[in-house]
Chain A
């Protein structure tokens, strides 16, 4: 119980560390749904991380992107109506250094988070079809479909309030992360045969609270984790994760 209190305290502290807010448009990020913003979002994250951290805020609109790498002390806030849309070509997810491919990746970072009432939307079946076409032509080798979020070896991670939709593969992959707080997430991949929910491997102190998961494959893969707490986290069939 003491450990749990300490954990809550650390989350509370980390939320208050980053006071600086930056709007997406400030970095030239476009909400038109057709401009691929990968380069601009990445520069924004790098800049905020290098300047004592802060929050990158996306207001209502569709923001197309390929893989972006979240960095220490940076949070992304998706306001209601803001949709971060994953690009539909697998080539847009080739910048992964380690760990599973995803729209938002982080590796070895701390104090990171994504929150708000917005949506992170994968290209689901379109991306799967594009991958299969390239595979059949022999242009690419077999590789896993990119997920929505993939954090590897990170500390103090929080995801709160988001809708994680239409992921072609794992909505959320957590590998060897410490102190992870997942709260009020709506994960939905109902039209995608390969959709999977949360995959956590080798993590410590993972808190799942108020989750709803509707996917075709496993809603929650829980492997070699320590100190996982689950409160009110259910599938579309009302089964606890």
Chain B
């Protein structure tokens, strides 16, 4: 496993270096004001910015520089060898009118900045992209209600394909996003879909203006670096997806990132058709997050393989670790296999609150799956699609405890454990099973799982044990340490249908 990781690092190094060199290739700068753009916060600049991009791409490439000021825009298409450079104080701001945005026919979604099959593109500088998500989304809702656009509408909002994201790059190579702040889209924030060599450094995301406001979405990309970045988003913040069963998200480094969410912190999925492979995630800090700090989910017939997560600090976050195999597309019967294997999570310190972790932020996560006491971290496969080879080492999690059986109860008898529903077709979420029978960790249908030096602390006494493991082969538990007030002699580990590995 470690040898494998070293191999990945070697693989990733060349293209990390490539970016360092390529950043100096573009020397020619063009001022967007020279093309007639206005930074007055009034003039719609889409056509002018597009004219400038077209000129630069046809004339050897370069940077289109935005001096400080507010540039109103609708959709524009970035082209090969062009970098949008937003100086500090420069803001690309959505007009707030959905009709100024294009729904790209190939992609099927709307965006402020599109790129489709372009190479060597970027958005740099310390300026801002502001999607004015709330106004833009409401304008589309209004148009849908009047019948100007076709939208079935769900939850009293326009669907995703009728709400613009800030950035949607598809099938592009050598993408560089550095320094900028991405604010308030009407949908996801930035999507890199089937791109190669995506480099994201020192960006800030402030994305709490409307539903589905993710931090960053990497879909079926190969060769991705995300580092030194900060995310504050209503929905999942660092999110890897796989939309295409023939594609995969692979060779990814995430380092020194932090953030909070009203959904999940680091997430694989929910759409997970092809899968995720060769990830190294280090120095991750998650706080004030409603759902899980780490959620790795293979629920659509794809794979998750060779994942290292090293160094996580999670404060005031509703759940810490959630690993899940599901079968949303009902593929089990067609002989396909969902895979989740070879995952190492180590050096984690986490605190789970009793109260709602995201309270007070815009677009708080919906209260659901009640009644349940505080949910444990969980590794939950299916009887025939098992999670394999997961190592958890040097983990300390502080829980509130205080699980009250009169509010919600799940006992630990064989019958009670085996009556927990499998829910293969359900949307995966740490809370989906409602009450689970442990206050610290719950494992089911998983083989070759290792707990090594795991400390679980409950602040108050809980009716449940710390760990429940049901249906596991070759389990290894070593150096477990529990603390729960007034429960010195309580049996904290319950095993059902488990075989243990000695070495």
- Contact at A91–B36, with CB atoms within 8 Å? yes
Partner of A40 from the list B34, B35, B99, B146 (CB cut-off 8 Å) is: B99
List the A side residues contacting B55 at CB < 8 Å. 139-140
- Contact at A91–B99, with CB atoms within 8 Å? no
Partner of A28 from the list B36, B42, B48, B99 (CB cut-off 8 Å) is: B99
Please encode chain B, from 25 to 58, with 1 for each CB lying within 8 Å of some chain A CB and 0 for all others: 0000000001110000011100110111001000
B433 sits at the interface (CB 8 A): no
Partner of A39 from the list B34, B50, B51, B97 (CB cut-off 8 Å) is: B97
A240 sits at the interface (CB 8 A): no
Partner of B148 from the list A43, A87, A133, A140 (CB cut-off 8 Å) is: A43
A1 sits at the interface (CB 8 A): no
- How far does the alpha carbon of A28 sit from the alpha carbon of B98 in the complex, in Å? 10
- Contact at B148–A91, with CB atoms within 8 Å? no
Please encode chain B, from 459 to 494, with 1 for each CB lying within 8 Å of some chain A CB and 0 for all others: 000000000000000000000000000000000000
A186 sits at the interface (CB 8 A): no
A236 sits at the interface (CB 8 A): no
B142 sits at the interface (CB 8 A): yes
Known: A34-B42, A36-B43, A134-B35. A140 touches B51 (CB 8 A): yes
List the A side residues contacting B51 at CB < 8 Å. 91, 94, 139-140
B100 sits at the interface (CB 8 A): yes
Known: A39-B97, A40-B99, A130-B36. A91 touches B50 (CB 8 A): yes
Closest to B42 in A: A34
- Within A3-40, which residues are at the interface with B (CB < 8 Å)? 26-28, 34-36, 38-40
- How far does the alpha carbon of A105 sit from the alpha carbon of B92 in the complex, in Å? 29
Count of residues in B whose CB is under 8 Å from the partner chain: 25
- Contact at A36–B44, with CB atoms within 8 Å? yes
Please encode chain A, from 112 to 145, with 1 for each CB lying within 8 Å of some chain B CB and 0 for all others: 0000000000000000001001100101100000
List the B side residues contacting A137 at CB < 8 Å. 34
A66 sits at the interface (CB 8 A): yes
Known: A42-B99, A139-B34. A89 touches B146 (CB 8 A): no
Partner of B99 from the list A34, A39, A87, A92 (CB cut-off 8 Å) is: A39
A205 sits at the interface (CB 8 A): no
- Chain A's nearest CB lies how many Å from the CB of B149? 8
- Chain B's nearest CB lies how many Å from the CB of A103? 13
- How far does the alpha carbon of A43 sit from the alpha carbon of B34 in the complex, in Å? 30
- Chain A's nearest CB lies how many Å from the CB of B112? 13
Closest to B40 in A: A34
Known: A94-B51, A134-B36, A140-B51. A47 touches B44 (CB 8 A): no
Known: A28-B97, A39-B74. A91 touches B44 (CB 8 A): no
Known: A39-B99, A39-B100, A43-B99. A91 touches B35 (CB 8 A): yes
List the A side residues contacting B35 at CB < 8 Å. 91, 134, 139
- Chain B's nearest CB lies how many Å from the CB of A7? 35
- How far does the alpha carbon of A76 sit from the alpha carbon of B52 in the complex, in Å? 32
Closest to A30 in B: B97
- Contact at B148–A47, with CB atoms within 8 Å? yes
- Contact at A89–B48, with CB atoms within 8 Å? yes
- Chain A's nearest CB lies how many Å from the CB of B101? 8
Closest to B47 in A: A91
- Chain B's nearest CB lies how many Å from the CB of A67? 9
Closest to B142 in A: A28
- How far does the alpha carbon of A89 sit from the alpha carbon of B50 in the complex, in Å? 12
Known: A39-B74, A39-B99, A40-B99. A89 touches B47 (CB 8 A): yes
Which 6 A-B pairs have CB atoms at the shortest separation, nearest pair first?
A: A36-B44, A39-B99, A91-B47, A91-B51, A39-B100, A40-B99
B residues at A contact (CB < 8 Å):
34-36, 42-44, 47-48, 50-52, 55, 74, 95, 97, 99-101, 139, 142-143, 146-149
Q: A28-B143, A89-B47, A91-B35 are in contact. List 6 more A-B contacts (CB 8 A).
A: A40-B100, A89-B48, A90-B36, A91-B47, A91-B50, A91-B51
27 contacts across the A-B interface (CB closer than 8 A): A28-B139, A28-B142, A28-B143, A34-B42, A35-B97, A36-B43, A38-B44, A38-B100, A39-B97, A40-B100, A43-B99, A43-B148, A43-B149, A87-B44, A87-B47, A88-B36, A89-B36, A89-B47, A91-B35, A91-B36, A91-B48, A91-B50, A92-B48, A94-B47, A137-B34, A139-B55, A140-B55
